[in-house]
Amino acid sequence: MARETIMEAISQNATKQEAAENLSADPAIAVADLHKSFGTQKVLDGLSLAVNRGETLAVLGRSGTGKSVLLRIIIGLEKPDSGYVRIHGQDISGMSLDQLGDIRKKMGFLFQHAALYDSLTVEENVAFPLQHHRQSMSKSEQSDRVTALLAEVGMEAGLKKMPSDISGGMQKRVGLARALALEPEILLLDEPTAGLDPISSGEIDDLVLKLQAEHHMASIVVTHDLHSAKTIADRLALLNKGKVVIEGSFEELKKSDNEFVRDFLAHS
C-alpha cells in the first residue's frame, strides 16, 4: 500500500487499530498514534510515521521533542504508553525480551555516543553480535567479517585499539560497523554527526550514503543537522511537541507556510 494511502486512511477517522493495520501492510517500520510520557512530561503525543524498505527518513526537531525516545521505542528499549510499533508488520508492543531479540537481529542501532563496550577492543566490539548470533561462523570467518566491516567504515587500522583510545568520530564509525554486523534490514541512527567537526560530519554522511546504497536498508536518522539530513535522507519529518508537524522532501519543507517549520529552517 502506498504511503499516501496509508496516511489518508489515518486521516479518515480510522481507529488506532485500523491505522496500525493499514500502516503495517507494507512499510518496514510503521508507528501509529504513539504516546509516551516520563512522569508528568509528555514526550510523544500521538506520533505516526512510516518508513518503507530502502528508504531513509530523517527526523528533525528541537531538543526534548522525543526524537531519540522514538528510536528507543522502535527498537524496544522503551515501551510506549499507547500506540503501535510494527516492524515488517509485526507489532512489538507485547513482545517478551526473547521475542524482541528476533526482531532486533534485523535492526542495527547507532547510539548518539556510540555506546561501545569500554572493556572490549574495537575488533571485539564489532565481533560481539557475531559471537552471539552467528555461532555457525568459524572464528576465522568471524574475524574476516569484522575486518571487512571495519574496512567498510574506514577503521581497519584500529582493530586492537580500545574505545577510549580513539576519537568520537572513529567511535561512531566503529558503532556503525557493529550496527551492520548482522546485515540488518533496518538501520536506526541517533544523531550520527552530533559533536563532530564539519569534516568528520561530512565523512559520516558519505559513509551512511554509501552503506544505504550498498545494503538497501530502511533507515531512520535522528539529527539536529539539517545539512546532514538533506544529504542522506529521502524524506524529512519535523517533530514538535511530540508530533510530526510536517513530512516531505527538503523542498517541500521550504515551501511550507507553517510558522514552526519556517522558524526551524530559518535557525538551522
Partner 1 sequence: MNESVSRATAGMEPALPAPSISPDIPFASSIESAAAEFFEWFGELGIFFSRVVRAAVTPPFEFRELVRQLDEIGSKSLPLVALAGAATGVVLSLESRFSLTRFGAKSLLPAAIIFSVLHETGPIITGLVVSGRVGAGIGAELASMKVTEQIDAIEASAVNPYRLLAAPRILACILMLPLLTLASDLCGILMGWIAQALVEPLSLHQFITAGFNGADFNDFLPPTFKTAVFGLIIGLIACFQGMRTKGGAAGVGRAATSSVVLSSLFVILADVVLVKLIIIFFP
Please give the residue ranges that form the binding site for partner 1 (CB under 8 A).
Answer: 3-4, 7, 10-16, 19, 33, 35-37, 39-40, 42, 45-49, 72, 75-77, 81-83, 97-98, 100-102, 104-105, 107, 109, 111-113, 115-118, 128-129, 132-133, 178, 182, 237, 243-249, 252, 256, 258
| Distance in Å, CB of 7 to partner 1, minimum | 5
Query: Dmax of the chain from CA atoms?
Result: 58
Closest among 251, 254, 244 to 222, alpha carbons compared: 244
Cα 66 to Cα 44: distance, rounded to the nearest angstrom:
6
Cβ distance to partner 1 smaller for residue 109 or 264 = 109
Backbone angles phi, psi at 251, to 5 degrees: -65, -40
How far apart, in Å, are the Cα atoms of 164 and each of 115, 146, 167, 197?
11, 19, 8, 19
Q: Is 251 in a helix, a strand, or coil?
A: helix
Cβ distance to partner 1 smaller for residue 202 or 248 = 248
Cβ distance to partner 1 smaller for residue 82 or 268 = 82
| Distance in Å, CB of 199 to partner 1, minimum | 26
> Which secondary-structure segment (H or E) carries 261?
helix 259-267
| Distance in Å, CB of 267 to partner 1, minimum | 20
Cβ distance to partner 1 smaller for residue 79 or 210 = 79
| Distance in Å, CB of 202 to partner 1, minimum | 25
